[in-house]
Amino acid sequence: MKCPKVHLVAAGLMIFVPLNAVASDVKVIANASVKADTISAADLKRVFLEEKNSLADGSHVEPVLDKDRQVHAAFLQEYLGMSEDDLQAYYRTLVFTGRGSMPKALGSDAEVVAYVARTRGAVGYVSSAANTEGVKALAIWTPSNSAERKLITRVEPDYPEALKRLNIGGTVRLQVSISAKGNVENVELLGGNPILGESAAAAVKKWVYAAGRSRTVAEVSISFRGH
Amino acid sequence: MHRRIAGLVFACFCAGQLTLQAEDFKLLDRNVEIHGFASQGFIYTNTNNWLTMNTSQGSAAFTDFGFNVSTSVTDKLRVGAQFYDRNLGHLGQYHPSLDWAVVDYRFKSWFGVRGGKVKTTLGLYNDTQDLDFLRTFALLPQSIYPTDLRDATIAHLGGDVHGRLPLKHGLGNLAYTAYAGHRSDSIYSGYEYLASSYKLYYSRMGGLQYGGDLRWNTPLKGLLIGASRMNEDLTGKGTFINPFNPDAGLLPESGHSKADWTNQFYGEHTVGKLRIDSEYRRFLHDERDHSGVTLLFENVTDVRGWYVSGAYRVMKRLALGSYYSRYSVTSVTRGPFALLFPPQTDTSQPANHIYDKVITARVDLKKFWDVKVEGHFMNGYAYSTYPDGFYPQVNPQGFKPNTNALVIKTGVNF
């Protein structure tokens, strides 16, 4: 079978912003009602500071705190950049001026997981070793200036015949989660024709990158321009 | 019997047997929260009496408390209310008030509306000035947050639009508030108390209040800078005794502001356990007072204040802080009653300024219970047409130029 000629912009791949996933002592979890599988560190902070109660996909979110001292301290340091006293003062400012509420705080990882599992929109955190059955783990990403991951194996996407015949092309944008070993763990369509996106995602899932220090989230653009 | 009970309660607090915690309960499947606070203070001054209390003998007429109830009705809609009461010497006098009662709908993180009786956003601490437990100091810098004039700025009956806008290119975010409403002062407030020293008795004081606040959470971690503006159109109504004709008895009096605005600029930097704040405020008040159609006087008062403060958490239960605060007032009066109000334009005079050096220690006995010990070393007493802590009624012998004050305050919150 002839390989469809697919024009790929910028030598076949455009990575806009290499985004590093944060390797951490804590795991961020969410109720199944939260549609996203990833969340930026900035948005996570805004959720826990009650500046944001919904994500871009429309999912309602509300923060849940873990009172386990170590887990809580690790989360504060890594994601909020605040001390416990400052965080409590912040929440009390919201409560006593009528601008927010005191988030639910639970005593252990198991209690946090149970609460998040049954509460719509709940977003919490537990130790990285905790059993998180019944909830989803959110990958956290931050923009960084580190060098992009080197692509070792690239599989070209198929150009669906029906669209090619109709000369329907365009650029699709994908968010790609890459494991530390270099496998593509997850692909999400960020924009573009959904049928082309499906084809692009199927190909990108077979890509292999060079091993890195930690999980990485990258943005990839692939253009389809048939002849 | 009461002393035994109080002693037992105190002993239980110390032994950790008693605790205070916020309550919540379910109502119609919504989580309803209840929170509260209370504080008790004691002030001793070595010369002038301060804040309408008899502080030169030591005074504990320095109490306040409040509680609030709130809930989220939907994901975007919140309602709540807080009741508040206080006594500060001759002010407050335990007349409880609705501190705030708000319906808040957040369309998006960058746009929300709230209405009702809403705490006013003005500078860093206007809306939280009663909430001692949030900060190291027993008294906020009185040059910017005069506790005797709390009513002038604390809340408005009206509405706000508010939101937070993230900025591109990692430039942080902007938080904005714009508001309009009606201000209504308690007659047990400082301005009304000062007016009574001139035999002017207000039965009501208030009016239109509108303005905005814009603050930038900068990309530099822990640095916030901002600015606030408030405009007012106030009317006061009451009675007065004409000092040139006291036999005429009580006559009607009304005052109306021609211009009334406040500009405030502020910055806050938190680095680890250290917090540094600084603010500047200018308040201009131009008012005309009449009795019937007869002009009594026109007065322009220009108040300027600023402070720089630092607070450091030394250990889990101990924080230390210090601030330097400067306040100056000028006042010029015209009209038939101008004789009663000599011009005050030289801010180097003690009557026209207060320079306050403060040092504080805060100890957290429990998570919910704190004690503060604070020293104030004040130069000046700013006795003018606009008050700032020193009143002639409690200083009938006149004012001394310097006042040192010891403030001890304890508070609980849940």
Q: Does A208 touch chain B (CB under 8 A)?
A: no
If you average pLDDT over residues B43-47, what whole number do you get? 98
How many angstroms separate the CA atoms of A89 and B339, rounded? 50
CB contact under 8 A, B82 and A98: yes
If you average pLDDT over residues B38-53, what whole number do you get? 98
The CB-side HSE value for A100 (13 A sphere, CA atoms) comes to 20
Q: What pLDDT is attached to residue A26?
A: 87
Q: Does B119 touch chain A (CB under 8 A)?
A: yes
110-169 in chain A: CB under 8 A from chain B? 121, 143
Q: Does B29 touch chain A (CB under 8 A)?
A: no
Size of chain B in residues:
414
How many angstroms separate the CA atoms of B281 and B327, rounded? 9
If you average pLDDT over residues B260-280, what whole number do you get? 96
Using an 8 Å CB-CB cutoff, list chain B residues near A93: 128, 131, 134
Q: What pLDDT is attached to residue B291?
A: 93
For A157, the token pair is: 């996407």
The answer as to whether B20 is a domain residue is no
DSSP H or E stretch at residue A43: helix A41-48
The answer as to whether B13 is a domain residue is no
Q: Mind listing the domains of chain A with CATH numbers?
A: 14-18+144-224 (3.30.2420.10), 23-140 (3.40.190.10)
Which candidate from B35, B109, B313 shows the least CB-CB separation from A46? B109
The answer as to whether B401 is a domain residue is yes
Most confident of B7-11, B108-112, B141-145, B170-174: B141-145
Q: What is the DSSP letter of A226?
A: -
Q: What pLDDT is attached to residue A213?
A: 64
Q: What pLDDT is attached to residue B359?
A: 98
How many angstroms separate the CA atoms of B47 and B6, rounded? 33
* pLDDT tens figures, B334-387: 998 998 889 999 999 999 999 999 999 999 999 999 999 999 999 999 999 888
CB A97 within 8 A of CB B101: no
Task: For residue A89, give the chain B residue with the closest CA.
Answer: B134
The answer as to whether B120 is a domain residue is yes
Q: Does B22 touch chain A (CB under 8 A)?
A: yes
Pairing of strands A216-224, A14-15: antiparallel
pLDDT above 90 covers a percentage of chain B that reads 85
Which candidate from B101, B109, B127 shows the least CB-CB separation from A97? B127
Which domain covers residue B51, as residue numbers? 35-413
How many angstroms separate the CA atoms of B170 and A41, rounded? 13
Q: What pLDDT is attached to residue A102?
A: 93
CB B109 within 8 A of CB A46: yes
Q: How far is residue B206 from each of residues A138, B16, B98, B187, B254, measured CA to CA in Å?
A: 52, 46, 16, 10, 12
DSSP H or E stretch at residue A86: helix A84-96
Phi, psi of A203 (to 5 degrees): -75, -45
Q: Is the pLDDT of residue B154 over 70?
A: yes
Q: Is the pLDDT of residue A106 over 70?
A: yes
Q: Is the pLDDT of residue A13 over 80?
A: no
Please report, as a single letter, which amino acid is at residue A47. Answer: V
Q: Does B75 touch chain A (CB under 8 A)?
A: yes
How many angstroms separate the CA atoms of B253 and B131, rounded? 36
Using an 8 Å CB-CB cutoff, list chain B residues near A31: none
If you average pLDDT over residues A148-173, what whole number do you get? 88
pLDDT band at A19 (very low <50, low <70, confident <90, very high): very low
* pLDDT tens figures, B260-269: 999 999 999 9
Q: What pLDDT is attached to residue A7?
A: 44
pLDDT band at A57 (very low <50, low <70, confident <90, very high): confident
Put residue A190 in one of left, alpha, beta given phi > 0 → left and psi -120 to 50 → alpha: alpha
Low-confidence winner among A9-23, A50-64, B322-336 (lowest mean pLDDT): A9-23
CB contact under 8 A, B33 and A102: yes
Distance from CA of A75 to the nearest CA of B (A): 16
Residue B223 has a CB neighbour count (10 Å cut-off) of: 16
Q: Does B127 touch chain A (CB under 8 A)?
A: yes
Higher pLDDT, B304 or A168: B304
Higher pLDDT, B258 or B47: B47
Q: Is the pLDDT of residue A227 over 90?
A: no
How many angstroms separate the CA atoms of A168 and A54, rounded? 34
Distance from CA of B154 to the nearest CA of A (A): 11
CB A114 within 8 A of CB A74: no
Three-state DSSP state, A45: helix
A68 burial via Cβ count (<10 Å: 0-12, 13-18, 19+):
buried
Using an 8 Å CB-CB cutoff, list chain A residues near B75: 53-54, 60, 121
| Interface with chain A: mutation pick from B75, B107, B173, highest number of A CBs within 10 Å | B75
Q: Does B221 touch chain A (CB under 8 A)?
A: yes
Q: Which residue bears the tokens 């499906």?
A: A198
Among residues A143, A25, A3, the alpha carbon closest in space to that of A73 is found at A25
Q: Is the pLDDT of residue A74 over 70?
A: yes
CB B143 within 8 A of CB B325: yes
Q: Which residue bears the tokens 């009206």?
A: B158
Using an 8 Å CB-CB cutoff, list chain B residues near A98: 68, 70, 78, 80-82, 100-102, 104, 114, 118-119
CB contact under 8 A, A96 and B128: yes
The answer as to whether B292 is a domain residue is yes
pLDDT band at A108 (very low <50, low <70, confident <90, very high): very high
Q: What pLDDT is attached to residue B241?
A: 94
The answer as to whether B7 is a domain residue is no
Q: What pLDDT is attached to residue B233?
A: 96
CB contact under 8 A, B68 and A95: yes
Among residues B360, B355, B362, B353, the alpha carbon closest in space to that of B331 is found at B353
CB B309 within 8 A of CB B268: no
How many angstroms separate the CA atoms of B36 and A92, rounded? 10
Q: What is the CATH number of the domain that holds B241?
A: 2.40.160.10
If you average pLDDT over residues B192-220, what whole number do you get? 95
The residues facing A15 across adjacent strands are A220
Phi, psi of B29 (to 5 degrees): 65, 15
Which candidate from B37, B104, B134 shows the least CB-CB separation from A98? B104
CB B176 within 8 A of CB B162: yes
Higher pLDDT, B42 or A3: B42
Q: What pLDDT is attached to residue B20?
A: 66
Q: What pLDDT is attached to residue A186?
A: 86
Q: Does A101 touch chain B (CB under 8 A)?
A: yes
Task: For residue A85, give the chain B residue with the closest CA.
Answer: B316
If you average pLDDT over residues B327-336, what whole number do you get? 95
Q: Does A58 touch chain B (CB under 8 A)?
A: no
Count structural domains, chain B: 1
Task: For residue B160, give the chain A residue with the closest CA.
Answer: A99
Task: For residue B23, give the chain A residue with the closest CA.
Answer: A102
Phi, psi of B147 (to 5 degrees): -70, -25
CB contact under 8 A, A54 and B114: no
For A201, the token pair is: 């995602």
Q: Does B313 touch chain A (CB under 8 A)?
A: yes
Task: Give the per-residue SS3 of chain B.
Answer: CHHHHHHHHHHHHHHCCCCCCCEEEEECCEEEEEEEEEEEEEEEECCCCCCCCCHHHCECCEEEEEEEEEEECCCCEEEEEEEEEEEECCECCCCCEEEEEEEEEEEECCEEEEEEEEECCCCCCHHHCCCHHHCCCCCCCCCCCCHHHHHHCCEEEEEEEEEEEECCCCCCEEEEEEEEEEEECCCCCHHHHHHHHCCEEEEEEEEEEEEEEEEEECCCCCEEEEEEEEEEEEEEEEEEECCCCHHHCEEEEEEEEEEEEEEEEEEEEEECCEEEEEEEEEEEEEEEEEECCEEEEEEEEEEEEEEEEEEEEEECCEEEEEEEEEEEEEEEEECCCHHHCCCECCCCCHHHEEEEEEEEEEEEEECCEEEEEEEEEEECCCCCCCCCCCCHHHCCCCCCCEEEEEEEEEEEEC
How many angstroms separate the CA atoms of B31 and B25, rounded? 6
Q: Does B65 touch chain A (CB under 8 A)?
A: no
**CA-derived radius of gyration, chain A:** 20
Q: How far is residue A163 from each of residues A12, A21, A166, A194, measured CA to CA in Å?
A: 20, 35, 5, 11
The answer as to whether B298 is a domain residue is yes
CB B35 within 8 A of CB B29: no
Task: For residue B221, give the chain A residue with the closest CA.
Answer: A81
CB contact under 8 A, B78 and A98: yes
CB contact under 8 A, B70 and A95: yes
Q: What pLDDT is attached to residue B299?
A: 95
Q: Does A46 touch chain B (CB under 8 A)?
A: yes
CB contact under 8 A, A95 and B35: yes
pLDDT band at A225 (very low <50, low <70, confident <90, very high): confident
Q: Does B76 touch chain A (CB under 8 A)?
A: yes
Q: Is the pLDDT of residue B216 over 90?
A: yes
If you average pLDDT over residues B331-335, what whole number do you get? 95
Distance from CA of A98 to the nearest CA of B (A): 6
For B391, the token pair is: 């009143």
Which candidate from B82, B135, B270 shows the least CB-CB separation from A96? B82
C-alpha of B293 from chain center: 34
pLDDT above 70 covers a percentage of chain A that reads 84
How many angstroms separate the CA atoms of B330 and B340, rounded? 15
Q: Does A56 touch chain B (CB under 8 A)?
A: no
CB contact under 8 A, A101 and B70: yes
Task: For residue A98, give the chain B residue with the closest CA.
Answer: B80
The CB-side HSE value for B143 (13 A sphere, CA atoms) comes to 30
Q: Which residue bears the tokens 């999980």?
A: A215
The answer as to whether B198 is a domain residue is yes
- Give the helix, strand, coil percentages of chain A, each rounded to 5: 25, 30, 45
